[in-house]
């Protein structure tokens, strides 16, 4: 879900996210073209998604998982549309990629912060630790890829990328059981970061 993507990501399916984007392109592309006609810039969608997730995170901090989850669920398609809109508008730029990636990290972090505040408030120690582990794992998944690509390696592997984390967390919030999602995300996100670490290590020794 990015405003800009390297050519190899557009042309081939490296991740589950790429696969989903291609499957739903028949919906995303017409919507993106319509958004372009309205004169809405892709970064406007990106920041709208961030604001929406902040609102959802506040509701989570208050223990309102249903409405927080609904808002976060709605923000997912908006996040997908910013990249499609950038492609339709022909403004795929490094700046757009930077904005999108940065706001993605903020969005995910603020959602976890909302859960952290809630569990800390009710003294749910186990759930609080799970949130922290899930947050660390999620950030490391993104960091390992970004750092690897900055050094000329590929790190687009792993079982729990951002889309998978979203698909696990959003329904769990709607059913008022985010702890179930945390039990899944906390270990698998960290495992994904390790997978990427080992993937880069293999490339280094084989280059």
Q: How many CA atoms lie within 13 A of 180 on its CB side?
A: 12
Please check the confidence at residue 91 and state whether its pLDDT lies above 90. Answer: no
Is residue 55 packed enough to be buried (19+ CB in 10 Å), middle (13-18) or exposed (0-12)?
A: middle
The pLDDT-based confidence of 87 (bands split at 50, 70, 90) is: confident
Top CATH class of 7-206 equals: mainly alpha
Q: pLDDT at position 49, please? A: 93
Phi, psi of 73 (to 5 degrees): -65, -40
Q: What percent of the chain has pLDDT over 70?
A: 88
* C-beta neighbour count of 68 within 10 angstroms: 27
Q: Looking at the annotation, which residues are catalytic? A: 104
The string of pLDDT tens digits covering residues 168-197 is: 999 999 999 999 999 999 999 999 999 999
The pLDDT-based confidence of 26 (bands split at 50, 70, 90) is: low
Can you tell me the mean pLDDT for 143-171? 93
- Total-model pTM: 0.86
More confident residue, 43 or 62: 62
Residue 159 per-residue DSSP state: S
Q: How many CA atoms lie within 13 A of 126 on its CB side?
A: 4
Residue by residue, what is the 3-state secondary structure of 1-12?
A: CCCCCCHHHHHC
């Amino acid at each position: 879900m990015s405003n800009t993507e390297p050519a190899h990501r557009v042309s081939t399916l490296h991740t589950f996210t790429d696969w989903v984007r291609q499957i739903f392109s028949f919906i995303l592309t017409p919507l993106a073209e319509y958004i372009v006609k309205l004169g809405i810039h892709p970064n406007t969608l990106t920041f709208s998604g961030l604001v929406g997730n902040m609102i959802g995170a506040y509701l989570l901090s208050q223990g309102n998982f249903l409405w927080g989850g609904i808002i976060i669920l709605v923000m997912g398609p908006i996040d997908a549309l910013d990249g499609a809109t950038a492609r339709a508008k022909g403004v795929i730029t490094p700046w757009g990629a930077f904005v999108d990636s940065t706001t993605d990290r903020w969005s995910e972090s603020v959602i976890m912060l909302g859960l952290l505040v809630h569990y800390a408030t009710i003294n749910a120690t186990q759930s609080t630790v799970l949130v922290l582990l899930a947050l660390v794992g999620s950030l490391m998944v993104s960091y390992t890829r970004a750092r690897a690509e900055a050094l000329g390696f590929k790190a687009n592997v792993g079982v729990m990328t951002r889309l998978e984390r979203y698909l696990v967390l959003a329904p769990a919030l709607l059913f008022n059981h985010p702890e179930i999602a945390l039990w899944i995300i906390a270990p698998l996100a960290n495992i994904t970061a390790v997978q990427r670490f080992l993937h880069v290590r293999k490339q280094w020794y084989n280059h």
